[in-house]
Structure 1
Amino acid sequence: MATMAAIGSFAGLPIDDLQALQDVEIDLPELRPRDVLVEVAAVSVNPVDIKLRQTLASSSTPVILGFDAAGVVTALGSQVSTLSVGDEVWYAGDISRPGTNAEFHAVDERIVSRKPRSLSFADAAALPLTTITAWESLFDRFELTRDSRGALLIMGAAGGVGSVMIQLAKALTGVRVIATASRSDSAEWAKNLGADAVINHHNLRAEAVAVAPEGVDWVFSPHSAGNVEDFAEIVKPLGHVTAIDDPVNLDLMPLKDKSIAWHWEFMFTKPLFGIEGQAELLARTAQLVDDGVIRSTVTNTIEDFSAQGLRAAHEAVESGHTTGKVVVCR
């Protein structure tokens, strides 16, 4: 059977351990009927990659991580109808299948679209997972429209999801965007992306009240533990919170008196349960990028598609001090 190069993990090890991510040789993936085979040109590293790597059980076979990817379609499954060999594509993957940190990757066409023509593979690879998360939070969970008015608070706004969410909210809705950032560089990044106000999440309640004394209508939360009581104070009655993290034993009772709704956003839900829509979402985003409405959020490009390059990317994201996205390309 044909083989390919990949970067794999055999156990959940600290990133400074050279065995945490290793160069390996694995079988070329077999295509399902709706799959395309993509020659991967670039990937980005997300917090979910860090979480999965850290919690891996020991295994005698390598686990291939990675979700975001941009590359070129090289083969088609027997029932593929939306893409062709030679198409330049982007996508965010499927948590139930092997990842994108490999020379080639098999992925269902229903979660893939052609990438923006105006972006390089590296710039394109920064966007899919964070864009899907931001889009589904804004338009599926909060049900915002162009006519929406009110205040949206984006926690951790200089991160990958927040960086896209600021842009989408300003371009496609009428809401006021309040971003949180704790460092001067991340605050400036959020402002440059279009945030109307930037506050420090280390002093969340006081600073949110100062910029939105009547309260906020929507909160996007990548860090929920320890913040629910603050949300209960700063969110208006009948407001909404959407969270993407995994807080343990989270007590939501402080939200009850105001009937504040709590939503979960997990961008892998649709691929896991066969729900379509993400290919169309990415196609629309590609057009927004090509129209100059949305820009890539890449801030660090590592030109070393190997275990060494992926270790450097994981280390950067794991530090918690990055703005935007870290990309690894060939």
Structure 2
Amino acid sequence: MKGLGVTRFLPVDQAGCFVEHVLGAEPPKGRDLQVHIKAVSVNPIDCKMRASVAGELSVPKILGWDASGVVTAVGPDVTLFRPGDEVYYAGSISRPGCNSEYHLVDERIVGRKPGGLSHGEAAALPLTTITAWESLFERLLIPLDPQHNAGTSILIIGAAGGVGSMAIQLAKYAGLTVVATASRDVSKRWCLQLGADFCLDHQRHLVAELDRVDLAGVNYILCLNDVNYYWQAMADIIQPQGRICAVVSAKEPLDLTVLKNKSVGFAWEFMFTKAMYETDDMVSQHELLNRVADLVERGIIKTTMTEQGGPLTAANLARAHQRVESGQMVGKYVLSGFGA
């Protein structure tokens, strides 16, 4: 089988940024599924992992952590799936990625593909769905109860990207007042289309922007952008005993004492944690992906695929990375099918 990988870090406009590589046909073991990849989506983590390659590798590193496909074989300990099942998942950063014809993945982090979606539409969802779900309901500890959340608000900073697009929808499902931030008109329209109640300009002072929509503060904040840049503004905006979650690594140490007087909680979210450490609750990602598949089928959640770049080839994958690196993406970029 074939895969697309990197042997050294190259800018996306240089030939050889991605190379085709013949992979060994390793059978699934334990709780692994072998999945025939039908579509993949590109995320910022793909670009970061490509940039992290130092020197020249003798064996290409396969990237890609968003996939939809069909199970073709299962390991001896698998209980959740069988060959022929359509699935979607993000995978594990500790293992080779999904930019290949076939891929091995632990069943505990795989969900059934939502009915009614193409493989491309489904591939846009897993990584951002898991990140948004865990951020809202596991890190921020928001109850999944619309009645309980009546009158409760969340600020989502950088809401037009993949994670923000899912967080808006899930937060509305949970009954929160959703305040999104974006800077471009197209991004603001996208956030409002997904259900945000307000959309602020994060290039302006957020306290003043909240005043503009008659909000004195918010109960929760999900920061999907530069946490250092927004740190003091978040400390000013958050209500007493509120909670803040961030997904982007800090460039400098954070001063947690600015949250002390308000007794504010702070948490990080990294969706690969459970798979990396094989935590006892690892199967929760399987469960939440299935739950979101149900919400998609009920019309409550919609795919965030906004751009399709053709089949998965070296040239198309480089263009996808270039698009994601531009910082201008709204929603998700998808490639469907291998080669051609």
* Deviation (angstroms), 1:23: 1.8
Residue among 80, 86, 89 paired with 2:87: 89
Distance 1:279 1:231 in 2: 32
Aligned to 1:52: 49
Aligned to 2:212: 210
Alignment of 1:38-77 (within 5 A): 38-58=35-55, 59-77=57-75
Aligned to 1:310: 317
For 1:195, the aligned partner's letter is A
* Deviation (angstroms), 1:208: 2.3
Aligned to 2:193: 192
Aligned to 2:184: 183
Deviation string, structure 1 residues 279-315 (Cα, Å, up to 9, x no partner): 0110111011011110000000111211111111111
* Deviation (angstroms), 1:213: 3.4
Distance 1:297 1:13 in 2: 29
For the 8 Å contact 1:157–1:179, the answer to whether it is kept is yes
For the 8 Å contact 2:210–2:216, the answer to whether it is kept is no
Distance 2:16 2:210 in 1: 44
Aligned to 2:240: 237
For the 8 Å contact 2:188–2:199, the answer to whether it is kept is yes
For 2:109, the aligned partner's letter is I
* Deviation (angstroms), 1:80: 1.0
Matched, 1:267 2:268: no
Distance 1:13 1:256 in 2: 44
SS at match of 1:317: helix
For 2:231, the aligned partner's letter is V
Alignment of 1:93-172 (within 5 A): 93-145=91-143, 146=145, 147-149=148-150, 150-171=152-173
For 1:108, the aligned partner's letter is D
What percent of counterpart residues are identical? 46
RMSD: 1.2
For 2:15, the aligned partner's letter is L
Deviation string, structure 1 residues 155-196 (Cα, Å, up to 9, x no partner): 11110001011111111x221000001000000000000000
For 1:19, the aligned partner's letter is G
Higher mean C-alpha deviation, range 189-198 or range 214-223:
214-223
* Deviation (angstroms), 1:212: 4.8
For the 8 Å contact 2:29–2:74, the answer to whether it is kept is no
Question: Which runs of no fewer than 5 residues in structure 2 stay unpaired?
Answer: none
Q: How many residues align?
A: 326
TM-score, normalization: structure 2? 0.93
